[in-house]
Amino acid sequence: MAFPHFSFSRLGSLFTTNYDKIGWILLALVVSVASYYWVELPFRHRSKISSRHLLSFFAISATVVVVMAFFIIGSKGFPVRLPPILLKSAEELMVPTWDRLTQAGRGCHNRVEDFCYFEKDSAATNVYVFGDSHLSAIATELSEALSKNFNYLEANLGSCPFVLGVDGLIVNGENLPTQCNDEFEHRRLAQVSNDPSVIIVGGRFPLYLEGAYFDNLEGGAEGGGELVTGRLSTLGDVPLEDLVRETYQSLLDLGHHLVILYPIPSVGWNLPQEFLRRFKNADASTSIDELKINPITTSYEVYKLRSQSTFELFDSITHQNIHRVYPDQLFCDLIIQARCVTHDTEWLFYYDDDHPSIKGAEMITSLLEEAVLIAEAELKSQ
């Protein structure tokens, strides 16, 4: 009795408090006592309830359950309960965007060897993608766009930007060894051909430089605002910023072109959950005007402050072979002044609180593809 009660209570709200849980427990006790006196005790007396009546009750109940099950399955779970924008995103929410790209039956994200490689032909320009889960989140769209004209290799590892000399994580002062270490970074580097190529780099550098998850200062804080991931540790305690400059400069000195993906604006809220919370009573009849009037947005100023150290770091690296891509130009200070949008009237742009959705990945891919095409043209002219 208590299990379905708690299960359906949780389904009724995405965000519960301890007061909600206390209320569920008290209600469960009341229902348990009532069912004991009004259901269990009467059913113990055969004189009150005959076997024929009991079997009839079970038969009717089973019939009702089966009919309802077929009706629910046939209607695909009553999709009219949700607004179209969530229905479009429902299927993609089943699989994290960073886990979508596969090769040979294995996911490409978090491989530490045998990296995913899509070859066009030996004469095509090589494109390498080195980053973290943010790069993996757009990898499906990026690989589809680039593998038509380029040899495409990616080596993306969660919480691991491409920086030679990193050595795990420092969390609350403790050095924790991870797969993100100098050995892995050199394994990435070893994939790069001696021929001048295009290398795409990026990741959640505001997180790695600041050592704390994002707080949008409007009620959306990743991890409840707790420091659950710290700074990247480095060999010899060399400042991470110095290692980034050295790593990128070494690639440029070899004649490669570098496409730097600047920080993707974070949301702070888990967007699908926040959407359901704000539009709790929304259904298929929810008007487009309502989404236009009350969109879920974040402060562009907060994004700029959060990303300032990353922008300063990337901007300090200068070379004619650098191509810079700014995702904030897609989402911020464009549709709504001084705000970063997280959706339009048809699509969510984020899978969770920071990773792009499929639609968001398509938008970012268009910028990266343009940068890669420019880089290739310059490579051929040099």
Please identify which residue in the block is written with the tokens 């929304």. 282
Sort 249 into a burial class: Cβ within 10 Å, 0-12 / 13-18 / 19+: middle
Residue 198: per-residue pLDDT: 98
Residue 92: per-residue pLDDT: 76
pLDDT tens, position by position, 193-206: 999 999 999 999 99
Query: By the 8 A CB rule, do 337 and 110 touch?
Result: no
Query: Are 35 and 179 found together in one domain?
Result: no
Query: Are 202 and 243 found together in one domain?
Result: yes
Whether 313 has a pLDDT exceeding 90, the answer reads yes
Which residue range(s) make up the domain with 24?
2-82
Query: By the 8 A CB rule, do 341 and 292 touch?
Result: no
Residue 7: per-residue pLDDT: 56
Give residue 359's pLDDT band: very low, low, confident or very high (50, 70, 90). Answer: very high
- Range from 56-60, 64-68, 366-370 that averages highest in pLDDT: 366-370
Residue 331: per-residue pLDDT: 98
Query: Are 215 and 77 found together in one domain?
Result: no
Query: By the 8 A CB rule, do 58 and 258 touch?
Result: no
Last residue of a domain, one of 22, 50, 82: 82
Run of H or E residues at 261: strand 257-261
In degrees rounded to 5, what are phi and psi of residue 178?
-135, 180
Run of H or E residues at 160: none
* Cα–Cα distance for residue pair 378/141, rounded to 1 Å: 24
- Looking at the chain, list the stretches that DSSP marks H as alpha helix, in order from N- to C-terminal side: 2-11, 18-35, 41-43, 51-74, 84-90, 133-137, 139-146, 182-189, 205-210, 240-253, 271-278, 288-293, 300-315, 328-331, 358-381
One-letter amino acid identity for 288? I
CA geometry: angle 134, 172, 167, nearest 5 deg: 55
Query: Are 60 and 193 found together in one domain?
Result: no
Structure tokens at 359: 């639609």
Last residue of a domain, one of 47, 63, 82: 82
Give the chain's domain count: 2
pLDDT tens, position by position, 96-146: 999 999 999 999 999 999 999 999 999 999 999 999 999 999 999 999 999
Which whole-number Å values give the CA distances from 217 to 121, 258, 299, in the listed order?
A: 49, 34, 9
Residue 126: per-residue pLDDT: 97
pLDDT tens, position by position, 315-327: 999 999 999 999 9
Instruction: Report the CATH number that the domain containing residue 101 is assigned in CATH.
Output: 3.40.50.1110
User: For residue 104, what is the DSSP state?
Assistant: T
Helices (H) and strands (E) in the chain, counts: 15, 13
Q: What is the pTM of this model?
A: 0.82
Query: Are 328 and 227 found together in one domain?
Result: yes
Give the 3-state secondary structure of residue 118.
strand
Query: Are 143 and 221 found together in one domain?
Result: yes
Query: Are 125 and 63 found together in one domain?
Result: no
pLDDT tens, position by position, 194-243: 999 999 999 999 999 988 889 999 999 986 544 444 578 899 989 999 99
Query: Are 47 and 97 found together in one domain?
Result: no
Give residue 52's pLDDT band: very low, low, confident or very high (50, 70, 90). Answer: confident
CA Rg value for the chain = 26
| pLDDT: which is higher, 98 or 35 | 98
The CA-based diameter of the chain, rounded to the nearest angstrom, is 97
pLDDT tens, position by position, 88-107: 777 777 889 999 999 999 99
Query: Are 146 and 107 found together in one domain?
Result: yes
Last residue of a domain, one of 82, 110, 125: 82
Sort 131 into a burial class: Cβ within 10 Å, 0-12 / 13-18 / 19+: buried
Give the 3-state secondary structure of residue 192.
coil
User: For residue 222, what is the DSSP state?
Assistant: G
Query: Are 310 and 283 found together in one domain?
Result: yes
Lowest mean pLDDT among 19-23, 189-193, 258-262, 350-354: 19-23
Percent of the chain surpassing pLDDT 90 = 60
* Cα–Cα distance for residue pair 160/181, rounded to 1 Å: 9
Residue 78: per-residue pLDDT: 64
If one counts every other C-beta atom within 10 angstroms of the C-beta of residue 181, the result is 18
One-letter amino acid identity for 289? D
Query: Are 162 and 147 found together in one domain?
Result: yes
User: For residue 93, what is the DSSP state?
Assistant: G
Query: By the 8 A CB rule, do 266 and 217 touch?
Result: no
User: For residue 157, what is the DSSP state?
Assistant: B
Residue 13: per-residue pLDDT: 47
Query: Are 115 and 203 found together in one domain?
Result: yes
Please identify which residue in the block is written with the tokens 């380029």. 150
Lowest mean pLDDT among 224-228, 253-257, 265-269: 224-228
One-letter amino acid identity for 317? I
